[in-house]
Every structure is written in C-alpha cells, then in structure tokens.
Copies of this chain bind each other. A is one copy, B any other.
Amino acid sequence: MDTRERLSIEAARLFAQRGYHGTSIADLAAATGLQKASVYSHISGKEELLAEIALAGAEAYHEALDAIPKDAGAGDALRLALQAHLRVVDRQLDVATVWLQEWRYLGEAARRQFLADRRDYERRVTTMFERAVAEGDLRADLDVRRAVLAFFSVANWALTWMTHEIDVDREADAFWALLVAGLS
C-alpha cells in the first residue's frame, strides 16, 4: 500500500477517533511513521484529507445502493438498502463516522459537494419508499417523509453499536422486519 493511501486510512481513523480539530498533522505523521514535513509531499493541506474521506463515504453509500438487483421488489429493495447501508458502516466504520460527524468542518466547496451527494442519497431512498407504497409493499397511507427519517435514524445510529462481531446482514434484516411489522 503506498504512502498516500496510508495517510488517508490513518487520517480517517484519527478523525473518527479524536475528531478533525482534535487531530494534528503531527499525530497523523506519527501514525504513518513519517515526519510532519513529509506529509506535505502528499497532501496540500489538512482539509484535503477531510474532503477526500467525506466524499469517499458518499461514494461508498452510493455504490452500495447500486449493487441492489434492479429486479428486486420495491419492498425487498428497501431491506437490501438497509443491509447495504449497514455494511458500509461495518466495513468502513472510520469513513462512515467522518461522513456523519466531521463533515461540518469541510470548507465551502467540499461542503457543497458533500451536501449534494447526501441529498442524492436520501432522494434515492425516498424514491424507493414511494415505489414500495405504489406497489403495495408498504401501507398506502404511509407518511413517506417520516418513514425515510426513521430509516436513516436506524441506519445512521448503527455507528454507535456496530462491532465486527455482529452479522450485519442478519441484523439489518431484523431491524427492517421490526420496522415493517411494528412494535405492537
């Protein structure tokens, strides 16, 4: 693995653990076994790393949605979407953490890109809910806005309880079943 890639990975780890402002370039250099000055042979500044990680998060979520079979039923596609989201959280926990918590420290340009990507992602899931209602897989009188919020609530809160011991796909299925069937 080349040095540039190691910098990204270690930066994601440190940003997720100590926060963007709580991580210094000296910390990052130490974590990669470099001197501070050497870090700047690979990056133009600290914020470049944050932007890169945040956009990598968006890409991961979008790609996870892309992998859902096009011929899946609308209801089942949502179950797979929750699986896809939780898989990203599990396999790229640091990136997902930065994506959720540290994006607000992005500069103007990168922040705009981030928000656009996130809005697209939410839009795709919203469309899936609308399809599921239209196809009769979900209640006809469903409040789609709140349903989408509930979906992302569960999906994003997973950051706080996710561990590698968990069977992610099973867990996602169980949560989806709970949401679909209701508590009563």
Please, which residue of chain B has its CB at the minimum distance from the CB of A22? B21
Would A150 and B138 count as touching, CB distance under 8 A? no
A40 at interface, CB cutoff 8 A? no
User: Smallest CB–CB gap between A125 and chain B, Å?
Assistant: 13
- CB-based contact A146/B161 at 8 Å: no
A137 touches B184 (CB 8 A): yes
- Asked if A30 is at the interface (CB within 8 A of a chain B CB), the reply is no
Pairs across A and B, CB under 8 Å, 9 listed: A137-B184, A138-B183, A146-B174, A149-B161, A154-B154, A157-B157, A179-B182, A179-B183, A180-B182
Q: Main SS of chain A's interface residues?
A: helix
- A-B pairs, top 7 by smallest CB distance, nearest first, are A182-B182, A21-B21, A153-B157, A153-B153, A21-B22, A153-B154, A180-B184
* Contact assessment for A143 and B178 in the assembled complex, using a CB-CB cutoff below 8 Å: yes
Q: How far is the CA of A161 from the CA of B184 in the complex (A)?
A: 26
Verify if A113 is at the interface (C-beta below 8 Å from B): no
How many residues from A make CB contacts under 8 Å with B? 32
- Interchain nearest-CB distance for A9 vs B (Å): 21
Could you tell me the distance between the alpha carbons of A175 and B157 in the complex, rounded to whole angstroms?
A: 16
The answer for the CA separation of A178 and B149 in the assembled complex, in Å, is 11
A 136-150 to B, binary, CB cutoff 8 A, 1 in contact else 0:
011100110011011
Complex Cα gap A75–B182 (Å):
13
Whether a CB of chain B sits under 8 angstroms from the CB of A126 is no
Q: Are B146 and A157 in contact (CB under 8 A)?
A: no
